Structure 1
Amino acid sequence: MEAPNFKSLKDIDTSFSLMRLFMLVVIIGCLGFSSAISFWAFDAVEKSRQKVYVMDGGKSIMLAMAQEHNMNRPAEARDHIRVFMKAFFELEPDENQIKNSIKEASYLGDESVGRLYKDLSEKGYYQNLIQGNVHQKVEIDKNNIIVDFTQSPYKFRAKGREILIRETTITVRNLVVEGYLIDVARTDNNPHGFQIERFLPVDNTDIETVNRNNQSTY
Structure 2
Amino acid sequence: MNTNRSTAPFRYLTNLEDSFRLIRVVAIGIMILSVAFAAGVAWWAFDAVEKSREKIYVLDGSKSLTLALAQDMNVNRQAEAKDHIRAFHRLFFNLDPDETAIDAHIREAAYYGDASVMRLYSDLREKGYFSQLIQGNVIQKVEVDSIALTGSQSPFTIRTYARQLLVRANTITTRRLVTECNLIDIDRSDNNSHGFMIERLKVLENLDLETITRD
> Shorter-chain TM-score category?
0.5 to 0.7
Q: Which letter does structure 1 place at the counterpart of 2:172?
A: I
Give TM-score scaled by structure 2 length: 0.68
Q: Which letter does structure 2 place at the counterpart of 1:188?
A: D
Rounded to whole Å, the distance in 2 between the matches of 1:52 and 1:129 is: 47
Asked if 1:209 corresponds to 2:211, the answer is yes
Once the two structures are TM-superposed, the CA of residue 150 in structure 1 deviates from its matched residue by 4.2
| Long gaps (5+) in structure 2 | 1-49, 59-67
Q: How does 1:8-87 map to 2 (within 5 A)?
A: 64-67=69-72, 69-87=73-91
Select 2:166's aligned residue among 161, 164, 167.
Answer: 164
CA distance change for structure 1 residues 152 and 64 in 2, over 3 Å: closer, same or farther? closer
Asked if 1:133 corresponds to 2:137, the answer is yes
Q: Which letter does structure 2 place at the counterpart of 1:196?
A: I
Give TM-score scaled by structure 1 length: 0.67
Match of 1:124 in 2: 128
CA distance change for structure 1 residues 191 and 171 in 2, over 3 Å: closer, same or farther? same
CA distance change for structure 1 residues 205 and 185 in 2, over 3 Å: closer, same or farther? same
Rounded to whole Å, the distance in 2 between the matches of 1:80 and 1:164 is: 23
Once the two structures are TM-superposed, the CA of residue 66 in structure 1 deviates from its matched residue by 1.7
Q: Bigger CA drift: 106-115 or 69-78?
A: 69-78
Kindly report the root-mean-square deviation, in angstroms, between the aligned alpha carbons of the 2 structures.
Answer: 2.4
Aligned residues: 157
Once the two structures are TM-superposed, the CA of residue 206 in structure 1 deviates from its matched residue by 0.3
Q: Which letter does structure 2 place at the counterpart of 1:66?
A: Q
Rounded to whole Å, the distance in 1 between the matches of 2:194 and 2:117 is: 18
Rounded to whole Å, the distance in 2 between the matches of 1:140 and 1:156 is: 13
Task: Tell me if the contact between 2:91 and 2:109 (Cα under 8 Å) persists in the aligned partners.
Answer: yes
Match of 1:198 in 2: 200
| Long gaps (5+) in structure 1 | 1-47, 57-62, 214-218
Q: Deviations over 1:81-119 (max 9, x none)?
A: 000000000000000100000011100000000001001
Match of 1:153 in 2: 155
Q: Secondary structure of the equivalent of 2:143?
A: strand
Rounded to whole Å, the distance in 2 between the matches of 1:176 and 1:187 is: 28
Rounded to whole Å, the distance in 2 between the matches of 1:64 and 1:180 is: 24
Q: Secondary structure of the equivalent of 2:211?
A: strand
Q: Secondary structure of the equivalent of 2:113?
A: coil
CA distance change for structure 1 residues 210 and 55 in 2, over 3 Å: closer, same or farther? closer
